[in-house]
Structure 1
Amino acid sequence: MNLKIYSIIAASAVVLTLGSCKKDFLDKSPVTQVGPDVAFADAAAAERLIRGAYAGMYNDYHIWDFMTNGDVTADNAYAGGDNPANMAIDKFTSISTNGNITRDWNGLYSNIKDCNIVLNNVGNIADPALDANNRRNEMLGEASIMRAYMYFNLVRLWGSVPLVLALPTKDEEFYPAKASVEAIYAQIIKDLEFGAANAPTSAATKGIVTKGVANALLAKVYASQSTPNWAKVVEHADAVIGGGYSLLSDYDALFDAKHENNAEAIWEMQFDGWGGAHGNWMPSVIVGTGWKRFNTPTNDLVAAFDAENDVIRKNSSIYFRNVVSEGWTDDYWSKTNYPYINKYRADDQSNSYILRLADILLLKAEALNEQSAAGWAQAKTIVDQVRARVKLAGTPAADQASMRLAIEKERRLELAFEGHRWFDLLRTNRAITVMNAQKDGKGASLNYGVTADKLYFPIPQGELDANPNVR
């Protein structure tokens, strides 16, 4: 990352978080205007810094691009709309000047900067109030978990990237080289283990990261490395499962906006509408009338729901409408029965899940199945639990190979449009096979032509120009 820009933005963020959780990154204060006597004076200032880290997550990546990257890149959604950047992501033709890719890189590194401000400074604030009820360590744990999550997204989207853990103090630190994927994962695990030991056990809302979030991310991280550690996946999945979470009995209640921060939610974005601090504009670009919306469900996903007779999850995830009267065209669907995503229904107040229990249950099932040829029987119990909620019979899978595909399918149908599908295909080495087999509704190949060099985003051109060490 271009750390000269990073350093200026970091200094500005400290000033802004002292007065408000809302940040205007166009109003950048010089580094010299921020000193420990102003920004890091006491426990109240520390609380403002951690609130700033949370507030920074209300950017394009966490509002919408998480789904574009996880579902449009994969076989769950077409780009829809008319945005060339989205279409390039959909068709695997992205180049370094892609606007979505640039904003996601900048957004995630901005989030890391917010976390680093907390991690680099809160430990040094000489205020005994911070140590009452272990609050100092809780804040450091929260910031560590959030930083780990940002790097987890970066390493899965780009592979090798700069690993920035502090503000630069030497000239050479302004132009960091890319760290290896292994080094990034090692830091992610270190941060998450610290978070699991120090973050709060529970919080007022599921928007605050807790020990449960740390363990859920550890389970996903250990499953995502080049050589998965399935024993660790089970260990951390069990820590989540034993942490007081439970599946909602009604799948649709997860998305009806009446059950936010529910027992199944582990980490949930907290949107309160445009009248509040954080409005969710994402629903307005995926549903509605008057113009062609983005992230259209694919023929392949609809067919997968139908083949499973999965009526409950299909109806919760997708709805159809006659849009013949609207003045746009589509390459994939008839406008007499056009699909829209149905998981985000309350417009600018719709919360969205980052992590929920069903994801971790199915990940544990996958780990059990991969640990031994006989593990499929233990995995079946978990898969059947998830299926039973939506009134489906138990999976017919009866050996390791068939259970592997059954779990892949179950994760797809359970978690559609929640940003997980592409990363599942990547970590199981199935992305090339699955995407190159994609067909439209008439059975014609979509000719994605995915190869190994297209599995990761290109580094944004602005970074390539500013920092020769990332080329």
Structure 2
Amino acid sequence: MRKIYKYFAVSLFALGLSSCELDMVPYETIEKDDVYSSENAIEALTLGNYAILKGSGIADGQSWVNNYFRFGEYSGDNVALSGSTTDPLFYIYNFKRQAKGDRKQSVWTAAYKAIVGCNIVIDRAVEGESAEMDNVIGQNYYLRGMQYFYLTTLFGRPYNQSPETNLGVPIKLSTDVNDQPLRSTVKECYEQVIADLKKAESLMQSEKSASYATKEAAQALLSRVYLYMGDNDNAIAYSDLVINSGRYSLLSKDDLRVYPTFTPDENPETIFALRFVDGADNSGEWDDWYAFSGMYAAVDAEGKASLDGSGWGELYASVTYRDIVEEWPDDARSAFVTSMVLDKNSEDLWGVWYGLNSYKDSDSDEQKKLNGLLFHQDSVSADRTVLYQKLASDQGTKNMEVPITTVVDAKTGVTNYSVIPYQINKETGATQLLSAPVKLRINQKLATRQTYPKYFITKCSGQENKGHLWSPIISRLAEIYLNRAEAYAKKGDIGNALADVNIVRTRAIGPEAAYTPADVTAEMSLLDLVLKERRLELAYEGHRKFDVFRNNRNLDRAYPGTHLRGNDPFFEVRYDSNEIIEYIPEGEILAQPDLQQNL
């Protein structure tokens, strides 16, 4: 880590807010001894710390925020990679960890640059001189605590897995280049996070917009930190502080559908987000291609999904996420996933399904399992009663008519289709029915990439209706309700847990979708309901991987996607496996050999 501590560049990027524009002239006249104690310099250093985390724009592949969100989502179960890719995301997505790699190195480097920047402000600024200066100092405590929390979740095991002995990350609290701490335990890292966030909470008494850290932002993050620790009482207490502050409100259902279009400052639900600014952060010719969300979708100039738009569009909404977001006919959160129709003018119907379509006698059981997780798209009769299945073998092609079963869900009103398709022996041409029905999605014919139907994700695109412009959310009010719901669930408080879940759920769907105690069953526990809603609401916001493993749950990845290609694929990732945490970047181990590597 020595290379990080030797260098700290002060960025004067003011996040595009006119109220925080700075007069640059004083920097040219400040004496060397006063450079870090001048009020203007302290403010500039603080803005620089935000800028380090944000990076140089939406297409900055080295920025902290873009890369951290990749680790939180690509390693979850909300996404599915379509075929091969030249992007290094593959190693994150399929849990094939590497000690080398720009993504994790960028997270580590940017985080510690920001931490050192925060240390400079904390070391040189004087508390108590003014409420505004205290607020600035508090922002640095918040940013430092936030970074230690995020670093620990990425490089350290979940808190409930022996935090006294498992290692987190080095805790650097000084500006001394020769101060080279080793990795602290996970418990020590969380203690530092809490100390920093509580200090930030006490200092930040002035109101700021959602583009900056505030007292409520510290309380919001504390609610999550305590939840991760299993300290349910404190998770509830800090959630209460945010909810009862009166500063935030949930968007309406209609506004939720277009949540990404709002800037943080005009969104009453956003507590804190790293603000990206139109014109400053998305002005490059290729920015919309290389933006974080460029892998999720191609979009037009207004940020709407488009086959002819900008972006690679290689990483789609997983079938398991679509299964739950499509349970109700009008879940506002389904607006963030778009089925990409090949020809909108065509009235022909097609059905998408996955299952074992063909096999060889020599196929192993694992190979058959893999082949059973491949997509197929066949034409459907106009009255939606027959699937026309095409089966290819060495003996030629067979056309089979498969009856479609239609069932209308009595509670939701959703029409569900299923079929029992055929499978063919590729060598002999013999056919037989699958042993069980599979779900069929009927639509116009969908565009595909390497046989994977395109289900574009647009939750991280379209701010101000501009391409892939996006301000990554750190905390928002819906999360706080869900934090509190989970804490109540773990205390066995069914009434309060369901009340909080239903605040979020009925906003997105309607009162008809509210859970009752009767929905808690042996097959679906109270915690199951809470985590399902958390997955629905917070998808693509960097939470999912951590939500699964911190609850000692295994990650089910038995769904179509190229994570199941190659050697030793993970159909399931165990919560206690080594793969759930990242290696310390190799460059850091080489620079500081006594820094212990993860297993």
Identify whether the pair has TM-score above 0.5, normalized to the shorter chain. Answer: yes
> TM-score, normalising length from structure 1?
0.83
Give the Cα separation in 1 of the matches to 2:79 and 2:455: 10
Superposed displacement of residue 64, structure 1: 2.2
Aligned length: 429
Superposed displacement of residue 179, structure 1: 0.5
Q: Name the SS of the counterpart of 1:75 in structure 2.
A: coil
Superposed displacement of residue 286, structure 1: 3.0
1:454 matches 2:579? yes
Tell me the residue number matched to 1:364.
484
Tell me the residue number matched to 2:509.
391
State the one-letter code of the partner of 1:69. F
Give the Cα separation in 1 of the matches to 2:67 and 2:374: 22
Asked if the contact 2:294/2:310 (under 8 Å) is kept, the reply is no
Asked if the contact 2:111/2:147 (under 8 Å) is kept, the reply is yes
Asked if the contact 1:257/1:350 (under 8 Å) is kept, the reply is no
Tell me the residue number matched to 1:247.
250
1:105 matches 2:102? no
Given candidates 177, 185, 191, the residue that maps to 1:186 is 191
- Describe how 1:86-97 pairs up with structure 2 within 5 A: 86-97=89-100
Give the Cα separation in 2 of the matches to 1:312 and 1:454: 34
Q: For structure 2, which runs of at least 5 residues remain unmatched after alignment?
A: 16-29, 56-61, 157-167, 299-308, 344-372, 377-445
- Describe how 1:236-315 pairs up with structure 2 within 5 A: 236-244=238-246, 245-250=248-253, 251-257=256-262, 261-275=266-280, 281-288=291-298, 289=309, 292-309=312-329, 311-315=331-335
Given candidates 123, 144, 150, the residue that maps to 2:147 is 150
Superposed displacement of residue 178, structure 1: 0.6
Q: 1:407 to 1:449 in 2, by over 3 A?
A: closer
Superposed displacement of residue 136, structure 1: 2.4
Q: Name the SS of the counterpart of 1:468 in structure 2.
A: coil
Q: 1:453 to 1:264 in 2, by over 3 A?
A: same
Superposed displacement of residue 305, structure 1: 1.3
State the one-letter code of the partner of 2:169. V
Decide which structure has greater strand share: 2
Deviations 1:127-175 (CA, angstroms, capped at 9, x unpaired): xxx823x2222111110011111111100000111111112254xx23x
Q: Name the SS of the counterpart of 1:131 in structure 2.
A: coil
Tell me the residue number matched to 2:548.
425
Decide which structure has greater helix share: 1
Asked if the contact 2:78/2:540 (under 8 Å) is kept, the reply is yes
State the one-letter code of the partner of 1:434. L
Deviations 1:384-443 (CA, angstroms, capped at 9, x unpaired): 11111122411245449621000100011111111111111122111xx233x532289x
Give the Cα separation in 2 of the matches to 1:73 and 1:368: 27
Q: For structure 1, which runs of at least 5 residues remain unmatched after alignment?
A: 23-33, 125-129, 325-329
Deviations 1:84-112 (CA, angstroms, capped at 9, x unpaired): 52111111101101221111111211221
Asked if the contact 2:317/2:456 (under 8 Å) is kept, the reply is yes
Q: 1:277 to 1:391 in 2, by over 3 A?
A: closer
Tell me the residue number matched to 1:467.
592
Q: Name the SS of the counterpart of 1:40 in structure 2.
A: coil
Given candidates 207, 211, 231, the residue that maps to 1:207 is 211
Q: Name the SS of the counterpart of 1:307 in structure 2.
A: coil
Give the Cα separation in 2 of the matches to 1:427 and 1:36: 47
Q: 1:258 to 1:275 in 2, by over 3 A?
A: closer
Give the Cα separation in 2 of the matches to 1:397 and 1:61: 44
Tell me the residue number matched to 1:354.
474
Q: CA RMSD in A?
A: 2.9
Q: Name the SS of the counterpart of 1:118 in structure 2.
A: helix
Name the stretch that deviates more: 84-93 or 357-366: 84-93
Q: Which has the larger radius of gyration?
A: 2
Q: Name the SS of the counterpart of 1:50 in structure 2.
A: helix
Give the Cα separation in 2 of the matches to 1:82 and 1:252: 30
Give the Cα separation in 2 of the matches to 1:271 and 1:186: 31
Q: Name the SS of the counterpart of 1:194 in structure 2.
A: helix
Asked if the contact 2:6/2:177 (under 8 Å) is kept, the reply is no
State the one-letter code of the partner of 2:454. Y
Tell me the residue number matched to 1:75.
77
Superposed displacement of residue 291, structure 1: 6.7
> TM-score, normalising length from structure 2?
0.66
Q: Name the SS of the counterpart of 1:123 in structure 2.
A: coil
